[in-house]
Structure 1
Amino acid sequence: MLTRPLLVALLAGFLSATGFAPLDLWPVTLACLAVLLHLTWHAPSLRSALLRGWVFGVGHFTLGNNWIQHAFDYQDKMPPVLGYFAVVLLALYLAIYPAIAMGLAWRFARSVKARWNEPDIAFVLAAAAAWILSEYLRGTLFTGYPWNPMGVIWVPVPIAQLAGFVGTYALSGLTIVIAGALYLATQHQYRVPAIIVALLLVAGFALNPGQPVEDMTRPHVRVVQPNIGQDGVNLPDYAPRVLNKLADWSGQPGAVPRLVVWPEGMVNYFIEDGYPRDYYRQGDPRWVRGRIGALLGPRDRAMVGGNALFFSGTELAGAGNSVWVVDPAGMLGARYDKGHLVPYGEYLPMRSLLAPLGLARLVMGDVDFLPGPGPRNLPAEGFGEAGVAICYEIIFSGQIVDPAHRPDFLFNPSNDAWFGSWGPVQHLAQARLRAIEEGLPILRATPTGVSAIIDAHGRLIGTVPAGQEGAVEAPLPLPLPPTLFSLLGNWLALIAGLASVVLAIAFRRLAR
């Protein structure tokens, strides 16, 4: 029995975050989760179980979200030191969710613990169901923050392919089951752990997609990374400097059609017609579009990110974080506006109440971004239908594809220059898990990295590492047939959670 459970919970939570990128120490995460289950089983009261789960979460989310501090380094209106407080405050809130999970698991265990005094597979299954519920709540309540669900630790290994069958939240529940098997083994219960390990080995062998094979007859995609971050964003030469760098790395037209994709918000000119003249001081939109079109061959297309403006009469009502398809003539195709915006980053919630308190300083710019209608496809002639998930949107499992119109691939433009060294690689891992879930290739373009071409199995076809300028070009990967998750979405999380509860009850009754 551990004598200082809260200290152990804090350290276990802190170390558990090392299972995510960039360290990928997923065995450490499993061991730390096993410790959490041990602490929960031995908690003397519900309050104690909740507190141990919460303290674990504080450690876990403080280290896992350390990259958020770096966003304050680029915010002139806020001192960078506040970034450290922001990380801890966010962790204090996010820790509520593992606390809920452990509280529910303890309640299940305590309901019959007087007659069954050793941890068993029923307790582990109950904990897995509770974890599925808590992660789903974290990803949906108050606009949601599903960064680094526990299932992401499997991206480097074949077990991640299960996401196409059960989804991310159920995969997180499976992670708890695996950690629980490890815990049971420490309690000299070997039969269940042996069965689980055998099943995982079989699943890993069966699901391993092997090495990707490129079909050179396919149209090509070219992902451009200019390696220009937020430094100097307010200088007058920023917009032309970025455009020139993007153009330099966009390559030359060839015999094969190319889809050239640029990162989020990198076109720092307004490229749509119809705005008041004062908004075109930096450049005529026809010139900007013509510059982009001149980079393209007759069968090429470009997908570029920038800002749209929305007006109420003559008054500016808001902006859109947007993506357009551009053709060789410099004509704009359909536009996608980001639907899932970042609170306090892209808009200020309850602005009329919070702005007088000075909190408007948290939001860059004088107006809020306005949300688009949600997942929709952009036609890219010669390349198929492109689903779009801008930056933060890619982390929302089950919310990035129009269920009525399955795209041929996903485009994920992002700006990870804010995210330090941990954030970009964690963002990439979550994009890879979305590719597996949906069975769709993803083109990921960021200004400073990591940019990548990801196939429908989540494998990296090519990357431009963080901190380097360059481009990666390859044949556009093919989509897979619709996965079970793409058909049922997060209903699978509900099914997995209910199945875990039913099995837990069944095992407990058999044990009696």
Structure 2
Amino acid sequence: MLRSHSSAIAAFVLRYPKTIAFAAGLVSATGFAPLSFWPLTILAFAVLIALLAEAKTVWRAAGLGWWFGLGQFVLGLNWIATSFTYQAAMPAWLGWIAVVLLSLYLALYPLVATVAAWAIARRYPAVTGLALAGTWAVGEYLRGTCFTGFAWNPVGVALVDRSIAGVATVLGTYGLSAMVVLMGWLIAVAVRGPDRRWAYAPAVMLLLLQGAAALVPPAPQPTRHAPLLHIVQPNIGQQDKWREDFEAQNFARLASLSGRPGPRPRLLLWPEAAVPDYLELDALARNRLAALLGPRDVMMTGGVSLVTNGTQVTAARNSLFTLDAGGRLLGRYDKAHLVPYGEYLPMRPLLSALGLSRLAPGDLDFLPGPGPRSVDVPGFGRAGIQICYEMIFSGHVIDDADRPSFVFNPSNDAWFGAWGPPQHLAQARLRAIEEGLPVLRSTPTGISAVIAADGRLEKALPWRVAGAIETVLPAPKPPTPFSRLGNILPGLFALALIAAAIAARWRFA
């Protein structure tokens, strides 16, 4: 009976490999937040590796990768559809079409990874998983950089709550993604691999890399005299954020959650675009904010700055302003990595004629800023700033020449339903691990958090709950290997995996 069931399963797999690959892709996405079923992500890669090892043609290998990627992205990116419900100029159902169309494109990167792995290992299928670990890491890097990049949900983020996530201090997110594939390879080889000797290889790699990560010194414990943080989460929904008749109510909610000045200096943190006023032009608006501060307090808040040609406003910037208790602006950071179709409309003349609009309200497109840089915050050190979506780009969140002591990530995740905010938080935690820096998040509806330099959540406010976090600023670590060399290290690791697979093919095939 058991043999007949096994034969039936094998026949089904041989007849419908793309269906199995698509299902495995769907399962792999359950490892991402909010579900966080990370063992299923590893198991899904074991299935993909087993299918790829049996592929007889390059077309079959390409189909497996594309269908796997399609399943992973359609489920993992379902939150994008929610954002269209806040744009009156476009129908809500268009959001689901956008999810599918984006997934059709993004699935090309897993396709390239599986084709390359198949080509490397086709003479010796036992090392298919070894080759795929390297090519998958390269594919994710390309996905994060080509055509402005879309680095959301690298598979390594499924391990952010596991101790092995510390490997990212050396190999970054893309190296951690390679480790997910290696763990899938271990399962695939152990269960039915033609040469089970290879099961030892990923196990040894995991142990060695985790040992290397453990050599990075921990962050010192903050003292009781460490600077005090006050992070505000007002729970202002996207439907109310830009309504003029809600401006006074929204400000009152932000102000009431900002607490009262005390004897210790505080760093007061508000979310992205929390202030509708143009702070550089409006002294009254600056003074209204300054009234919330004690004499040694500093505030950082999201807002909008205008770009003019001397007489006319031509564009805007998504900005972060730092100001003191005297209402003086101490610095400004402009978001550099903008969201296409969210903050600007590509090919505007054509798409506007078709009735499309950007998701953020307003007629002016945003212009990008110059990129990561550190801002001096008197009494609190140097702050690296990454506004919202910028936080997902591994290796591009701090100014390497002017290392900050913490990173502030003001965001607006109110667009993105129940799945987007926890996924965004998980990726912010990976940036903390990679750079060895604490990350502070303030968002309108959550999830706001204080993230330690090792990625641990020290404090967090749940999604859709109004509140504030008041705690001390965590200390940074010394620069990690990844913070010194960036994506050179995961790139070398990926090349080493690919080279090892090629060497094994020539040695044992």
Is the shorter-chain TM-score for this pair beyond 0.5, marking a shared fold?
yes
From 146, 152, 172, the counterpart of 1:147:
152
> Hey, what's the Cα distance between the residues in 2 that align with 1:402 and 1:259?
21
Aligned residue for 2:287?
290
Please, which moves more after superposition, 498-507 or 95-104? 498-507
Give the secondary-structure state (helix, strand or coil) at the position aligned to 1:336: strand
Query: Which residue of structure 1 lines up, in the alignment, with residue 5 of structure 2?
Result: none
Q: Which residue in 2 is equivalent to 1:372?
A: 369
How big is the shift at 1:353? 3.7
**TM-score, reference length from structure 2:** 0.93
The equivalent position to 1:403 in structure 2, one of 373, 381, 400, is: 400
CA spacing shift, 1:148–1:74, aligned 2, 3 Å: same
**2:311 is matched with which residue?**
314
- Tell me if 1:235 matches 2:243: yes
1:252 and 2:260 matched:
yes
With 496-505 and 299-308 compared, the bigger mean Cα shift is at: 496-505
Matches within 5 A, 1:104-253: 104-110=116-122, 113=123, 116=124, 119-120=125-126, 122-187=127-192, 189-194=195-200, 196-197=202-203, 200=206, 214-253=222-261
Instruction: From 453, 456, 459, give the equivalent of 1:456.
Output: 453
Out of 184-193 and 299-308, give the one that drifted further.
184-193
Whether the aligned pair in 2 keeps the contact of 1:239 and 1:267 (CA below 8 Å) is: no
Instruction: Say whether 1:388 aligns with 2:385.
Output: yes
Does residue 14 (structure 1) correspond to residue 11 (structure 2)? The answer is no
Which of 318, 327, 352 matches 1:330?
A: 327
| Distance across 1 between alignment mates of 2:128 and 2:48 | 13
Q: Using the alignment, how far apart are the partners of 1:196 and 1:257 within structure 2?
A: 50
Moved beyond 6 Å, runs of 4+: 208-212
Higher mean C-alpha deviation, range 191-200 or range 171-180: 191-200
Assess if the C-alpha contact under 8 Å between 2:219 and 2:475 holds in 1.
Answer: no
Between the aligned partners of 1:363 and 1:411, the Cα distance in structure 2 is 22
Paired with 1:239 and 1:429, the residues of 2 have a C-alpha distance of: 31
Show the counterpart of 2:476.
Answer: 479
Cα shift at 1:505: 2.2
Separation (CA, whole Å) in 1 of partners of 2:21 and 2:458: 39
Of 269, 287, 308 in structure 2, the residue corresponding to residue 261 of structure 1 is: 269
Look up the SS of the partner of 1:231 in the other structure.
helix
Q: Secondary structure at the match of 2:372?
A: coil
* CA contact 2:406–2:438 (8 Å) conserved in 1: yes
Secondary structure at the counterpart of residue 357 of structure 2: helix
Q: Provide the C-alpha distance between the structure 2 equivalents of 1:307 and 1:180, rounded to a whole number of angstroms.
A: 48
In structure 2, the partner of 1:34 is 46
Secondary structure at the counterpart of residue 308 of structure 1: strand
What CA distance in whole angstroms lies between the structure 2 residues aligned with 1:164 and 1:253?
37
Q: What residue is the counterpart of 2:343 in the other structure?
A: 346
Q: C-alpha distance in 2, partners of 1:260/1:180?
A: 47
Give matches, 1:428-467, under 5 Å.
428-467=425-464
Deviation, 1:124, is 1.9
Across the two proteins, how many residue pairs are aligned to each other?
494
Q: State the match for 1:85 in structure 2.
A: 97
Q: Deviations over 1:271-307 (max 9, x none)?
A: 112xxxxxxxxxxx22221121111112110101010
What is the alpha-carbon distance in structure 2 between the residues aligned to residue 343 and residue 13 of structure 1? 26
**Aligned equivalents of 2:144 and 2:426: distance in 1?**
17
**2-side partners of 1:469 and 1:446: how far apart?**
10
Cα RMSD between the aligned structures?
1.9
Go from structure 1 to structure 2 and tell me whether the alpha carbon gap of 1:361 and 1:331 turns closer, same or farther (over 3 Å shift).
Answer: closer
Q: Deviations over 1:472-505 (max 9, x none)?
A: 1111011111111111111112211211122112
Partner of 1:416: 413
Q: Match for 1:230: what amino acid?
A: Q
1:434, CA displacement in angstroms?
0.3
Displacement of 1:191 in angstroms is: 4.0
TM-score by structure 1 length?
0.93
- Return the match for 2:423 from 423, 426, 440: 426
What is the one-letter code of the residue matched to 2:231? Answer: V
In the aligned structure 2, how far is the partner of 1:161 from the partner of 1:302? 32
Could you tell me how far apart the structure 1 residues matched to 2:287 and 2:401 are?
34
Task: Name the counterpart of 1:282.
Answer: none
Cα deviation digits, residues 378-432 of structure 1 (max 9, x gap): 1100001101000000000111111111111100000000010010000000000
Residue matched to 2:301: 304
Question: Once structures 1 and 2 are overlaid, which stretch shifts more, 413-422 or 171-180?
Answer: 171-180
Structure-2 residue corresponding to 1:499 = 496
Aligned ranges 1:60-79 → 2 under 5 Å: 60-79=72-91
Distance 2:161 2:464 in 1: 22
3-state DSSP class of the match of 2:327?
A: coil
Q: CA–CA distance in 1 between the matches of 2:446 and 2:240?
A: 18
- Residues 362 and 450 of structure 1, relative CA distance in 2, 3 Å threshold: closer
Query: What is the deviation of 1:215?
Result: 2.8
Contact 1:158-1:207 at 8 Å conserved across structures? no
Q: Structure 1 residue 210: deviation in Å?
A: 9.7
Secondary structure in 1 aligned to 2:303?
strand
CA distance, structure 2, for counterparts of residue 69 and residue 211 of structure 1:
39
**% identical aligned pairs:** 51
Counterpart AA for 2:235 = N
Q: Any conservation in 2 of the 1:242–1:267 contact (CA below 8 Å)?
A: no
Q: Is the 8 A contact 2:445 2:466 kept in 1?
A: yes
Distance between the aligned counterparts of 1:206 and 1:48, measured in 2? 38
Alpha-carbon distance, 1:361 to partner: 5.5
